[in-house]
Amino acid sequence: MQIQKQPPRLSRYANIGRKKSPVRKVHRQPTGKFGKLVAWWQGLSRKQKVAVVGGPILAIMIIIPVVTYIMLANDIRDVERLMNRNNTGIVLKDRNGKTFYSIGRAEKRNIVKLDQISDHMKNALLASEDKDFYKHGGFNLFSIARAAVTRHGGGSTITQQLVKNTLLSDEHSLMRKYQEFFMSIAVEQNYSKDEILDMYLNSVYFGENAFGIEDAAKTYFNKTPKELTLAESAMLVGVLPAPSSYSPISGSAEYAKERQKTVLSRMVKEGYVTEAQKTEALAQQLAYAPPSTQNDSVAPHFAEMVVAELSDKYSSKKGGYEKDGYEKVMRSGYQVTTTLDIDMQNTLKDNINKQMRHINRMGGSNASGVVVDPTTGEIRALVGSADYNNEKWGKVNMVTTRRQPGSSFKPIYYAAALADGVITPATILQDKVKDFGGGYVPRDADKNEASRGGSATVRQALNWSLNIPSVEVMQKYGISRSVTAANSMGISSIKKGDHGLSLALGSAEASLQDMVHAYTAFANSGKQYDITKITQIDDKYAKTIYKHEGKSKQVISAQGAYLISDILSDRTTRARIFGSSITVNGNHTVAVKTGTTNDNRDAWTIGYNPQYVVGVWVGNNDNSAMISGGSDMAGPIWKSTMTSLLSGKPDVKFTLPSGIVQRAVCKDKGGLAAKAGANTYNEYFMSGALPTESCNSEPTKVSVCNLSTGKVETIDEDKFDSTKYSKDTANCKAPTITVCNLSTGKVETIDEASFNSTKYSKDTANCKSTNAKVAACDLKTGSVVMVDKSKIDGVNYSKDTSNCAAAGGNDNSGGGSGDSGGSNNGGNNSNNPGGNATSP
């Protein structure tokens, strides 16, 4: 067998010395969506690629300053427009565009000329802010580069700061710095250095709501700019980097002094003052003008709340009322449209003022109130204290201050328990003094539980503000669940685990704003919006930079909201305890609840309809006791305010949601009745939470007129028959008919039941008496006489008058003669027998 030889193996070095074949690069054709674009880019040379990328960037860098200059050219060339473009501070307007608060100088003002400003002030500014001001052309390239790298300001020239303060925004970005750079050049080309310095001093913000040197000199030292000393000038310039923090009045006095020292040191370095002058200035005790405590705004506390919200919104440190945000707002020139309605604000304010005399007599000193639109969460009116300018307590905003709400807290957990089916409006609650555990024995406010029979329905207990039944409701529902309900409705100050059953009586603290916020859910079918104060913000260029868009959330079921609203708007039940003291004038559906804490330290009234929720608090800031409580102290303010708000408006009822039914309920047992009766009433329920008990109703008695007798009687309502009875008891009479009296021949009206056909006839048209007088023969006398027709009987009287004679003819006569003759004869026989013999 022949063996086939294998080819020899190539060693690893077999190709050494051989010339390698060149590797051919394969260019793949780009595919996909951007294939052609990629191919086009790959085909460009390096220079072309640079042009493609750099060209647009260069164009943008050219276009931006050109466009910015065109937009602001008129302002740059006009001193008046340049100076007043951003010196408003901030302006707050109500929902109808009426200005009600202005921080800073909102009006156009004249410029203080440079020669009317202290040299110390000018020198301090130059030394501290821009020592090369008279040398540069309006910008500092080093500062621009630093801003691009660190994204922080500082080091800008006075010209750049003027541009930023009056023409541009405070945004920290390379683009804004780029605009500032070119605008500074434009300003330098249009104005002299002195004019630029003068405009800067008249527009810069010094803190304490002071814009410009004239405001600052007056606000801090009650002087004119010309009168400022070296020490005062250094102090004012020192606050410029952070006016709120460095202000010696409202900021840190220590920081302010350090800043003053820094400015004086720079003035020494630049040769404006000597070391000795610096030392003397530092030693001076500066006298600051007392801050103005007067505020004539119609809504000062509301304005403060708006500014605080804006300051937090635009602060770099979120979550607090930070000073950098406040300064940004103060310099912004924002035109803020708020939710306030000045007319409603004046109504609330006037009603509080009218009640203060009574409040003072009852031991109170302060009152606050708020009106909220439940369909948006927007505050329409807010009075934080009765007198904002009161030095002792006027500045404290009692709308946002936490106090014990008392019984005004009860609807929160009642509503939740109703919504969850734990109770119904008809549930019978015990109103007897008892220990709920741990020695907790609450009493009703009037301590008169026995007078109410020892029990009350949920509807009665809440309307009458009974304490013992309310504690029972919380015990049934649970403390933890009650706290959860309060939190979900916006009362965040109440924490789990911090309270016992006394929470049922409003022992936990909550603010009036939070309480009113919770009630907005009841007024709006369980839906709740966040409390809102601002609807729109326009910047200094009239450009809208913020527009509020509200969103609601369902915090309680629509059924639960309806049931609590129906209970609280039941003026009939409420009147037994409160009368009409908190009943709104006019026929309006309005729900309301009062609250009073121990010793009358807090008096509350909160009420609502689908359009407004109005809350009022009355008390003393120091928590001292008063003589009277909620319905008497806060009630009149609430009533007059709600009455004014609803005056002339149609009644708006609470929306009846699906799942709510009405059933007859037995009064004493709370169970469902088979049918309505004397001991029942109609009540609303959730269809899935009807009472499990049943009861027999008693027949309802009604007063009726018995048509047969014409008398008022009481019968069972189900026996009423309109043919036998009438419900018109005021005019109860038996039915009558008109008849002819046959005896008299006259027409008469008699009771229908008295009709007798032998005596009366219904033929009144031919009415004649059947007993009229007629001529008759008296059979006894034989003479014609007139007698009643009914007496003609043939025995005594006869109709035949033509042959009238005594009955029986001679018999009657003879009888008469015989009697007489017999008598005579008898006489004759007795005295003269045969007496006839004597007569012929």
Q: Given pLDDT bands bounded at 50, 70 and 90, which one contains residue 507?
A: very high
CB atoms within 10 A of CB 228: 24
Q: Which range is least confidently modeled, 309-313, 384-388, 418-422, 794-798?
A: 794-798
- Which residues pair with residue 592 across a beta bridge? 607
Gap between the Cα atoms of 304 and 307, Å rounded: 5
Q: Given pLDDT bands bounded at 50, 70 and 90, which one contains residue 716?
A: confident
Q: How far is CA 174 from CA 86, 147, 453, 553, 741, in A?
A: 22, 7, 79, 41, 120
pLDDT, position 542: 82
SS3 call for 403: strand
E-strand stretches of 146-302: none
Do 570 and 624 belong to one domain?
yes
Q: The CATH number of the domain where 468 resides is what?
A: 3.40.710.10
Q: Which single residue is written with the structure tokens 């700061």?
A: 161
Q: Which range is least confidently modeled, 370-374, 582-586, 656-660, 675-679?
A: 675-679
413 found inside a domain: yes
pLDDT, position 301: 96
Q: Given pLDDT bands bounded at 50, 70 and 90, which one contains residue 663?
A: very high
What is the arithmetic mean of pLDDT over 309-324? 70
pLDDT, position 819: 39
pLDDT, position 32: 61
Do 599 and 687 belong to one domain?
no
Q: What per-residue string of b and e applies to 600-617 under the rule 16 or more CB within 10 Å gives b?
A: bbbbbbbbbbbbbbbbbb
DSSP H or E run through 430: strand 428-430
Q: Which single residue is written with the structure tokens 């639960």?
A: 560
Indicate whether 296 pLDDT > 80.
Answer: no
**Per the structure block, which two tokens stand in for 644?**
């004014």
Check if the beta carbon of residue 438 is closer than 8 Å to that of residue 500: yes
**Tally of domains within the chain:** 4
Check if the beta carbon of residue 638 is closer than 8 Å to that of residue 612: no
Q: Which range is least confidently modeled, 470-479, 589-598, 774-783?
A: 774-783
Indicate whether 822 pLDDT > 80.
Answer: no
Indicate whether 353 pLDDT > 70.
Answer: yes
Quote the DSSP letter at residue 115. Answer: G
What is the arithmetic mean of pLDDT over 410-420? 98
CA R_g for the chain: 53
Q: How far is CA 157 from CA 87, 133, 259, 262, in A?
A: 20, 7, 19, 18
What is the arithmetic mean of pLDDT over 50-75? 56
Do 671 and 586 belong to one domain?
no
Q: How far is CA 390 from CA 256, 294, 623, 632, in A?
A: 29, 9, 17, 24
pLDDT, position 725: 83
Higher pLDDT, 284 or 755: 284
Which of 385-391's residues contact partners 24+ apart within 8 Å by CB, and which partners?
Answer: 385/301, 386/352, 386/353, 386/356, 386/359, 388/295, 388/300, 388/301, 389/293, 389/294, 389/295, 391/293
359 found inside a domain: no
- Which residues pair with residue 547 across a beta bridge? 536
Gap between the Cα atoms of 264 and 284, Å rounded: 13
**Angle at CA of residue 463, ends 440 and 447, nearest 5°:** 40
Last residue of a domain, one of 646, 681, 709: 646
Query: What is the DSSP annotation of 500-558?
Result: -GGGGGT-S-EEHHHHHHHHHHHHTTTEEEPPB-EEEEE-TTS-EEEE----EEE-S-H
Quote the DSSP letter at residue 443. Answer: -
pLDDT, position 352: 98
Structure confidence by residue, pLDDT tens digits, 732-789: 877 788 888 877 778 888 877 777 877 788 777 778 666 666 788 888 888 888 777 7
pLDDT, position 463: 96
Model confidence pTM above 0.85: no
pLDDT, position 73: 47
Gap between the Cα atoms of 258 and 234, Å rounded: 11
Gap between the Cα atoms of 157 and 178, Å rounded: 14
Gap between the Cα atoms of 808 and 802, Å rounded: 16
What is the arithmetic mean of pLDDT over 172-176? 58
85 found inside a domain: yes
Count H helices and E strands in the chain, helices first.
Answer: 26, 29
CB atoms within 10 A of CB 317: 11
pLDDT, position 676: 78
Q: The CATH number of the domain where 246 resides is what?
A: 1.10.3810.10
61 found inside a domain: no
Do 778 and 634 belong to one domain?
no
E-strand stretches of 141-252: none
Higher pLDDT, 196 or 772: 196
35: phi then psi, degrees, rounded to nearest 5: -55, -50
Strand arrangement of the beta sheet that strand 378-383 belongs to? 378-383, 366-373, 613-619, 602-608, 591-596
Do 183 and 111 belong to one domain?
yes
Do 452 and 553 belong to one domain?
yes
Per the structure, the complete domain to which residue 268 belongs is given by 79-283
Gap between the Cα atoms of 499 and 474, Å rounded: 12
Higher pLDDT, 4 or 814: 4
568 found inside a domain: yes
- Which residues pair with residue 703 across a beta bridge? 714
Gap between the Cα atoms of 657 and 561, Å rounded: 9
Do 638 and 678 belong to one domain?
no
DSSP H or E run through 694: strand 694-695
Structure confidence by residue, pLDDT tens digits, 8-42: 444 444 444 455 555 555 556 555 666 667 677 77
Indicate whether 683 pLDDT > 50.
Answer: yes
pLDDT, position 758: 74
Gap between the Cα atoms of 587 and 577, Å rounded: 20
Q: Given pLDDT bands bounded at 50, 70 and 90, which one contains residue 393?
A: very high
Which range in 471-475, 499-503, 747-751, 813-817 is most confidently predicted, on average pLDDT? Answer: 471-475
DSSP H or E run through 741: strand 736-741
Q: Which of 591, 551, 577, 565 has the alpha carbon at shortest distance from 629? A: 577
pLDDT, position 142: 67
Check if the beta carbon of residue 375 is closer than 8 Å to that of residue 279: no
181 found inside a domain: yes
User: At residue 713, what is the residue type?
Assistant: E
Do 578 and 675 belong to one domain?
no
Strand arrangement of the beta sheet that strand 534-538 belongs to? 99-103, 90-93, 334-338, 534-538, 544-547
pLDDT, position 686: 97
Distance in Å from the first CA to the final CA of the chain: 228
Q: How far is CA 441 from the centre of its chain?
A: 35
Indicate whether 315 pLDDT > 80.
Answer: no
What is the arithmetic mean of pLDDT over 209-216? 88
Indicate whether 515 pLDDT > 60.
Answer: yes
Indicate whether 65 pLDDT > 90.
Answer: no
pLDDT, position 336: 96
Last residue of a domain, one of 283, 298, 325: 283
Gap between the Cα atoms of 561 and 558, Å rounded: 5
Quote the DSSP letter at residue 65. Answer: H
CB atoms within 10 A of CB 628: 19
Do 804 and 684 belong to one domain?
no
Q: Which range is least confidently modeled, 30-34, 246-250, 524-528, 793-797?
A: 30-34
pLDDT, position 437: 93
**Per the structure block, which two tokens stand in for 660?**
């709510």
Q: Which single residue is written with the structure tokens 């820094």?
A: 262
Check if the beta carbon of residue 356 is closer than 8 Å to that of residue 273: no
Last residue of a domain, one of 257, 283, 309: 283
Residues 6+ away with beta carbon under 8 Å from 63: none
Quote the DSSP letter at residue 10. Answer: P
Q: Which of 286, 288, 282 has the alpha carbon at shortest distance from 262? A: 282
Do 631 and 665 belong to one domain?
no
Q: Given pLDDT bands bounded at 50, 70 and 90, which one contains residue 443?
A: very high
Indicate whether 141 pLDDT > 90.
Answer: no
Quote the DSSP letter at residue 225. Answer: G
Structure confidence by residue, pLDDT tens digits, 330-342: 777 889 999 999 9
Do 490 and 611 belong to one domain?
yes
Do 669 and 804 belong to one domain?
no
Residue 24 CB-density burial (10 A; 0-12 exposed, 13-18 middle, 19+ buried): exposed
Q: How far is CA 542 from CA 302, 537, 581, in A?
A: 23, 9, 49
